[in-house]
């Protein structure tokens, strides 16, 4: 059987990726330190290692367990935390990734690396959406810088060692298992607020747009990035793929969709715009269609309804995250 390693596999996206590879006939191992992931998210059929992605133990697993593909999702993903502590952000996102690449390079059995990056932050404020992969990169936070730095290391390891990799630049991923606390996205926060009957906080005028992509579509992109032939390598963006919808949805419309899904109506509370927040951000996805045969399948109303239903069902069991 082919073998896959999923870093961050106890987390929101990673656990869904582990499910997909098990369903696709892979033996799956998961690395996660449970700093934000949850043990119960890991599929029972997967082998779980509670280790830090930057540890020597993680390197040993990569070198010696004979994987065909490494899907690297473990990361520090909070932009605000990256600003407050850029050293920690770089330690996890750059040095952690570099340690894994060194382990892959030294392994007797080389594997393809699927690296998850960001489809908004690497392009920066002055991008003209929908933004294509080849757009100039103008990262404006330590988080974005660390993700782009890891992409450069991947390109370097291909040039020097022939290490095969694909980069997936995600839009704003939402869906079941997203934690409404901690490093949370707006969809999960709004779902939690609706269930509690609390007002939805909107920063700024609420007209800022983001590219909201359902986790099921992201998971299929990870599968295709791991299993499809890749184009010839000729620079940073040649094997990078935007994974989104190419549709910008503003926060007011997002709130309206979720209110309908919940069958309820809570007030909106407006707060000052957060410093440095992009006003418009959504990404072009034509390359993923052409090369990987990937396209988003879940519409925003369907995805938000599915996500709210999951939050409602799991809130009753206390399974939606940390309190």
Residues annotated as catalytic are 143
Structural tokens at position 40: 């119960």
């Amino acid at each position: 059987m082919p073998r896959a390693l999923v870093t961050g596999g106890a987390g929101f996206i990673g656990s869904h990726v582990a499910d997909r590879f098990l369903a696709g006939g892979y033996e799956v191992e998961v690395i996660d330190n449970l700093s934000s992931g949850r043990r119960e998210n890991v599929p029972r059929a997967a082998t779980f290692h509670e280790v830090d992605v930057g540890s020597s133990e993680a390197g040993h697993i990569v070198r010696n367990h004979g994987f065909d593909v490494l899907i690297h999702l473990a990361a520090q993903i909070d932009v605000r935390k990256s600003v407050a502590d850029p050293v920690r952000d770089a330690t996890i996102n750059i040095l952690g990734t570099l340690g894994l690449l060194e382990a892959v390079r030294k392994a007797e059995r080389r594997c393809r690396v699927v690296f998850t990056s960001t489809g908004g932050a690497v392009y920066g404020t002055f991008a003209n959406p929908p933004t294509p992969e080849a757009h100039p990169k103008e990262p404006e936070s330590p988080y974005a810088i660390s993700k782009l730095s890891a992409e450069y290391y991947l390109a370097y390891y291909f040039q020097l060692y022939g290490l095969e990799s694909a980069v997936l630049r995600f839009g704003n991923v939402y869906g079941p298992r997203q934690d409404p606390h901690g490093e949370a996205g707006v969809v999960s926060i709004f779902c939690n607020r609706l269930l509690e009957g609390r007002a939805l906080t909107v920063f700024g005028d609420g007209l800022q747009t983001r590219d909201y992509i359902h986790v099921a579509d992201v998971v299929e992109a990870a599968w295709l990035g791991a299993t499809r032939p890749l184009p010839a390598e000729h620079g940073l963006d040649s094997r990078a793929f935007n994974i989104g919808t190419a549709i910008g949805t503003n926060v007011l419309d997002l709130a309206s969709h979720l209110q309908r899904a919940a069958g309820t109506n809570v007030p909106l509370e407006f707060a000052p715009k957060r410093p440095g927040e992009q006003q418009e951000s959504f990404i072009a996805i034509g390359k993923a269609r052409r090369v990987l045969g990937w396209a988003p399948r879940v519409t925003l109303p369907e995805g938000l309804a599915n996500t709210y239903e999951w939050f409602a069902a799991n809130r009753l069991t206390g399974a939606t995250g940390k309190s």
